[in-house]
Amino acid sequence: MKQENHLRNNLKSIRTRLGMSQQELANLAAVTRQTISGVESGLYAPSVAISLRLAKALGCQVEELFWLEHDLPQIEAVLTKPVNNLQQLRVSLARVGGQWIAYPLVGKDAFRQDMIPADGEGERLTDSNKLNVRLLDDNMDRLYNTVVIAGCSPVISLWARSTERWHPQLRVQYNFANSMRALHSLCRGETHIAGMHLYDVETGEYNTPFVRKVLVGKEAVIITLGVWEEGLMVQAGNPKQIKSITDVVEMGAAIANREVGSGSRSLLEQTLQQEKIPFQSLQGFEWIMNSHQEVGWAIASDMVDAGISTASVAIAFGLGFVPLRRSRYDLVILKEYMQEPPVQQLLSTLGHRLVHSQLQILGGYDISQIGAVVATI
């Protein structure tokens, strides 16, 4: 039966994403390879029975495979966080661990610098954390080829944009989150990769102890993205001659702090404890900034005198920098995601010169061990 020109399908995209040949799918769905070829090319419209068998073989819903041209696809997705008083909301979408995940584009999450385009409009299902999402276009390939990374390092966005230039069909979605939030997001199945830089005082290890504690019962791989210099960002030229946290306290200088769960907050608290300085002695300890960029902007705007961040951020804002330690920034990936083609494609670029050149000119960032597997949990 010749397929009517208003019927569209996503069969080839889903099949190739799963690494199946036409013959392998045909065997699973109990049809001929010619049937698969005919449906993918638009020559044939499958029967209801064949459509159901194809959906079952591919582990998806029929609506994800076929739709009418004048009806954009609709999918069911899991909402990553509650959104008050909004029944209709703009969302970004990605396929993580066999299910659709919806990231609400609300408040700061709706922007990087410019407003982020939405993939769809979601309508919340009653008493549920799930949405019915009406897609804004029928380019399902872009959604299936999306890798989601949660983290706080500006390096991630550089890596993502460099990768997209090398692999134009790949989309990297960077969701801002501090180290602990990123790790918990990975644990909840909301992201493919979590970026983190947390130091464990008891073991003297970076990141691995926290991964073991949070990802109980899950297998993961920890891969190094780089080692950066962390320390005190100060005003340009360091006019107050700040050389340590103790100097900040003794001078009564004001500092911008970070939220609980961030690597920068952890470094500040550990330094204060080592120097036996009460937290409340530090002016601005309760003044919370939610990113490295916000801390840099607060210092550059003369709102505060100092803040914890990295040498590369200090250079970007033209600020002074007092190093405190070198910290390893790692990527944590569940083993079940390692073989997914979009994830493999992204990780393969860690060895690419285009990525290296972007990271090398940042300053204060060592990529000599980039791509090295630190641990397998």
Instruction: Tell me the pLDDT tens digit for each residue of 99-143.
Output: 898 888 877 676 565 677 888 888 877 767 888 888 887 778 888
CATH code reported for the domain at 145-377: 3.40.190.290
Task: Report the pLDDT value the prediction gives residue 111, as an integer from 0 to 100.
Answer: 57
CA distance 99 to 64: 12
At 327, give phi and psi (nearest 5°).
-120, 140
CA distance 290 to 311: 18
CA distance 219 to 80: 22
- pTM of the predicted model, to two decimals? 0.72
Pairing of strands 220-234, 320-334: antiparallel
The residue length of the chain stands at 377
CA distance 75 to 188: 20
User: Which residue, among 71, 70, 72, 92, has the nearest Cα to 81 in the 3D structure?
Assistant: 92
Query: Following DSSP, what letter does each residue of 116-183 receive, concatenated?
Result: PPPSEEEEEPTTSSEEEEEESS--HHHHHTEEEEEE--HHHHHHHHHHHHH-TT-EEEEEE--HHHHH
Burial of 82 per CB tally in 10 Å (0-12, 13-18, 19+): exposed
Task: Report the pLDDT value the prediction gives residue 69, as an integer from 0 to 100.
Answer: 62
Whether 7-69 shares its CATH topology with 72-141 is answered no
- One-letter amino acid of 102: A
48 token code pair: 């209801």
CA distance 305 to 251: 10
SS3 12: helix
244 token code pair: 């340590």
SS3 323: strand
For the chain, the structural domain boundaries read 7-69, 72-141, 145-377
- Longest CA–CA span in the chain (Å) reads 83
Start-to-end CA span in the chain (Å):
52
Contact of 191 with 149, CB cutoff 8 Å: yes
Pairing of strands 255-258, 306-310: parallel
Task: Report the pLDDT value the prediction gives residue 266, as an integer from 0 to 100.
Answer: 92
105 token code pair: 């584009």
Task: Report the pLDDT value the prediction gives residue 233, as an integer from 0 to 100.
Answer: 94
> Which class is 72-141 in CATH?
mainly beta
User: Which residue, among 124, 128, 121, 130, has the nearest Cα to 85 in the 3D structure?
Assistant: 124
265 token code pair: 């907050």
CA distance 296 to 191: 27
Task: Report the pLDDT value the prediction gives residue 1, as an integer from 0 to 100.
Answer: 43
In this structure, whether the domain defined by 7-69 belongs to CATH 1.10.260.40 is answered with yes
Low-confidence ranges of the chain (pLDDT < 70): 1-6, 69-73, 84-88, 108, 110-114, 127
User: Which residue, among 70, 98, 10, 100, has the nearest Cα to 46 in the 3D structure?
Assistant: 10
CA distance 120 to 63: 15
Pairing of strands 255-258, 288-289: parallel
Query: Who's near 283: CB < 8 A, 6+ residues apart?
Result: 249, 252, 253, 254, 255
For the chain, list the strands marked E by DSSP.
7-9, 66-68, 74-79, 88-96, 99-104, 120-124, 130-135, 146-151, 171-176, 193-196, 199-200, 205-206, 220-234, 255-258, 288-289, 306-310, 320-334, 365-366, 373-376
CA distance 172 to 187: 19
